[in-house]
Amino acid sequence: MSGELVVVTGGSGFLGAHCILALLKEGYRVRTTVRSASRKADVLAMLKVGGAEPGDALSFAVADLMADKGWPEAMAGCAYVLHVASPFPAGAPKHEDDLIVPAREGALRVLRAARDAGVRRVVLTSSFAAVGYGKPQPAGVPFTEENWTDPTGRVSAYVKSKTLAERAAWDFIATEGGALELATVNPVGIFGPVLGADHSTSTLFVQRLMDGALPGLPRMSFGVVDVRDVADLHLRAMTRPEARGQRFLAVAGDFMTLQAIAQTLKARLGKAAARVSTRTLPDWLVRIAGLFSAEAAQVAPELGKVKNATSKKAIGMLGWAPRSREDAVIATGESLIRLKLLKTSK
């Protein structure tokens, strides 16, 4: 049982809450940052769904990524930081800076506060978005941690925000970090058990499928990983000496088409997935929809693209062992049913 203090930024989020659960299970004390003290009850409710009653092992600090106030107090006395907080809306923002500035400036604000407080290591939650976009990959060659997204390419504001934030973090460590260490975790689409009504964009996709809100699916694919395994990888990257200065992709097997995700739900969840559509939308229809919908416009550039990524580095270096992609998808659906977050739930 460690007893060391770990700061988790964004504890009211899907991944942040699972990181807190993983840390508490390993005996760490946790201090989580929230933008408003009113979110404390939300965090505690999510942890309770996850099976934890943390008591004195969990404390809160109010701090915003866009302001210096509160960060020195948040970092005081902690050994490690998991910087999970970053904006990730379902739709496109009105201006890309609405995402880019909080992501980049927030990361730098957290790193400065951590350095000044004598923190040993920060694990930054980056994304596959910072790895696999903006330039073509040779056919059949999976993306690895050596790849970087080209933010000057045709990429969404979210992709650009994650890329520029991670680049800024590594530049900070190289020039101003002092003794502070950094590792990043770069997950693909995060699925798995939701802990409340406020969950991730990836799990929202499953919810919309199961509610019958998606009558057809674009011809595209993305990676899948379980949120519990992403949290586990954060802990491994936090403490393993060999993780210092490293990036780690988090993906469970090959990428899945949206149709394969839908078929998995229908095959394993029976009547609960009766509203799930497996119909493929023609590319031209999605592109036309993109003229009127910001969400469809973000999808259009990825139509028909075949991508893949590998987690061989995390598996080989850190002994990471993720659940299957199918189990991650099903865990999402089962939790939505259990928490009565579907129109089909009774």
Categorize the per-residue pLDDT at 345 as very low, low, confident or very high, splitting at 50, 70 and 90.
Answer: very low
Question: How confident is the model at residue 181, as a pLDDT?
Answer: 98
**Average pLDDT of span 65-93:** 86
Q: Tally helices (H) and strands (E) across the chain.
A: 12, 11
Question: How confident is the model at residue 330, as a pLDDT?
Answer: 98
Question: How confident is the model at residue 305, as a pLDDT?
Answer: 81
pTM over 0.85: yes
**Average pLDDT of span 240-246:** 98
One of 25, 94, 160, 162 is an active-site residue; which one? 162
Question: How confident is the model at residue 170, as a pLDDT?
Answer: 98
Q: For 251-269, how does the pLDDT look when each residue is reduced to its tens digit (9 = 90+)? A: 999 999 999 999 999 999 9
pLDDT over 90 (residue 242): yes
Q: For 306-332, how does the pLDDT look when each residue is reduced to its tens digit (9 = 90+)? A: 899 999 999 999 999 999 999 999 999
**Residues 130, 161: contact at Cβ < 8 Å?**
no
Categorize the per-residue pLDDT at 333 as very low, low, confident or very high, splitting at 50, 70 and 90.
Answer: very high
> Which position has the higher pLDDT, 102 or 93?
102
| pLDDT, averaged across the chain | 92
**Average pLDDT of span 53-67:** 95
- φ/ψ of 248, rounded to 5, equals -135, 115
**Average pLDDT of span 214-240:** 95
Q: For 281-312, how does the pLDDT look when each residue is reduced to its tens digit (9 = 90+)? A: 887 887 887 777 767 777 777 777 889 999 99
pLDDT over 80 (residue 274): yes
**Average pLDDT of span 332-346:** 85
The angle that helices 40-49 and 14-25 make with each other, rounded to 10 degrees, is 60
Superfamily of the domain at 5-193+224-252+308-322: NAD(P)-binding Rossmann-like Domain (3.40.50.720)
Question: How confident is the model at residue 89, as a pLDDT?
Answer: 56
Question: How confident is the model at residue 237, as a pLDDT?
Answer: 98
Question: How confident is the model at residue 202, as a pLDDT?
Answer: 85
**Average pLDDT of span 78-98:** 80
Question: How confident is the model at residue 102, as a pLDDT?
Answer: 86
CA proximity to 170, closest of 243, 108, 239, 254: 108
**Residues 199, 181: contact at Cβ < 8 Å?**
no
Is 162 a catalytic site residue?
Answer: yes
Q: For residue 62, give the DSSP letter.
A: E
Within 13 Å, how many C-alpha atoms sit on residue 85's CB side?
24
Residue 299 is which amino acid?
A: V
pLDDT over 70 (residue 346): no
**Average pLDDT of span 90-103:** 78
Q: For 178-202, how does the pLDDT look when each residue is reduced to its tens digit (9 = 90+)? A: 999 999 999 999 999 999 987 778 8
What is d(CA 204, CA 197) in angstroms, rounded to the nearest whole number?
10
Q: Sort 152 into a burial class: Cβ within 10 Å, 0-12 / 13-18 / 19+.
A: exposed
